Structures are given as C-alpha cells and as structure tokens.
C-alpha cells in the first residue's frame, strides 16, 4: 500500500505538469496570432523619402475558417508623419503626410488558391502563408519630397496594419466588437525622423 501512494502522487504530478504545459503551449500559440510590426523605416533616395515596412500576419482560426468558406478579408495599412508641437502640449501636431493602403484577401474554392488584391493588382497563391507574407511587405512607397520637410526639424512617423471590420457583413461587424477573433490589428509602431 505504501508503494502505490508515491506512484499515485507521481502520476498526479505528471498529469498536472502535462496540463500546465498544454495551457502554456495554447497561450503561446494564441500570442502568435495577430499582426506584429517587424520593421519600419523611412529611406531617403535622392530628393525623395520612401517608407518600407514589414509585418508578421497570423490569422486567428475563426478568420482563417471564414476566409476558406468564401468571406473576403480587407486589410488596411495606416501611415502618418507628423511634426510635434510642444508649445500646444502636443495636442495640435501638424500632420505632414497620411495615407492608407488597402488589401483584399480572398479564397477561391474551385482553384484552391488565395488571391491578394491591391487596387488593380491581383496575385494568386497556393498557400495562405505565401499570401500573408507578401501582404506583410510594404513595398517602398513615396512619402514626400525634401521640400515638404523642414531642415533640422523633428518628425514622428507611425505605421500599423489592421483588419477593416467595416468591410465585413453587418452581423459579423457586431461580432467584431465583442470578439478578439474578429478584431485583428497591430499596435502603432512609432519612430523619429530628423531632417
């Protein structure tokens, strides 16, 4: 009898450790879902400034399932370049450049391909991962000429990517307000630019 009690305790301990490790793995997988900014910078080429950014996009299981059932997903990359004004307590900063870049991601069940659209540009992919990788690379985009930025001034740049919930069907828009599975967005990634 005394020999079975330590064995039972050991088995209980192993079960508890297994359950704990499964919970930890589940939270680490859930933490990987979403959109994360890997890098962003403003590059000067000649007399022009361009932005380059890289995002890591991982859809939730709910969004991936909806996409595979034929629901197109719309994403927006937001960018802003402002000149902070300390004398207004940063409340009325001067906006220099703002833009949105739109993507549409869809799945065709007949061809079993994912389609990424940006304006008139369309590209098909065999895997979702390939489509998300291309969508996550913001190609160099013209921001401003040197004349638009004042010499010796400090500017703050910010970029993010988000799922455009307003493009979802109305019942799903209501779900998006209450569920993290339908609300996918990165944090604003901010950095300083000195001209």
pLDDT in tens, 123-172: 999 999 999 999 999 988 888 777 778 888 888 999 999 999 999 888 77
User: How far is the C-alpha of 54 from the C-alpha of 134, rounded, in Å?
Assistant: 9
Closest to 102 measured CA to CA, from 68, 78, 134: 78
* Region 80-104 average pLDDT: 82
Kindly indicate the confidence band of residue 185, based on its pLDDT and cuts at 50, 70 and 90. Answer: very high
- Does pLDDT of 33 surpass 90? no
* Region 72-94 average pLDDT: 83
Give the pLDDT of residue 12. 58
Q: Is 57 exposed, middle or buried (0-12, 13-18, 19+ CB in 10 A)?
A: buried
- Of residues 140 and 110, which shows the higher confidence score? 110
Give, in order, the Cα–Cα distances in Å from 61 to each of 46, 85, 169, 182.
Answer: 44, 43, 18, 10
- Of residues 95 and 60, which shows the higher confidence score? 60
Tokens matching residue 149: 């930025």
Contact in structure between 71 and 144 (CB atoms under 8 Å): no
* Region 6-28 average pLDDT: 47
Contact in structure between 155 and 110 (CB atoms under 8 Å): no
């Amino acid at each position: 009898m005394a020999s079975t009690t330590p064995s039972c305790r050991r088995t209980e301990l192993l079960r508890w450790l297994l359950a704990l490790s499964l919970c930890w793995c589940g939270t680490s997988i859930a933490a990987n879902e979403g959109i994360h900014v890997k890098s962003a910078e403003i590059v000067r080429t000649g007399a022009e400034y361009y932005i380059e950014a890289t995002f890591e996009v991982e859809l939730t299981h709910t969004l991936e399932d909806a996409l595979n059932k034929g629901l197109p997903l719309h994403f927006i990359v937001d960018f802003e370049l402002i000149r902070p004004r300390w004398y207004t307590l940063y409340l009325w900063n001067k906006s220099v450049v703002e833009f949105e870049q739109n993507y549409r991601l869809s799945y065709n069940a007949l061809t079993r391909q994912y389609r990424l659209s940006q304006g008139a540009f369309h590209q098909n992919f065999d895997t979702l991962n390939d489509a998300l990788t291309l969508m996550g690379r913001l190609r160099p985009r013209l921001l401003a000429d040197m004349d638009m930025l004042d010499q010796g001034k400090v500017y703050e740049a910010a970029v993010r990517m988000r799922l455009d919930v307003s493009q979802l069907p109305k019942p799903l828009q209501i779900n998006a307000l209450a569920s993290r599975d339908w609300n996918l967005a990165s944090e604003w990634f901010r950095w300083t630019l000195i001209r």
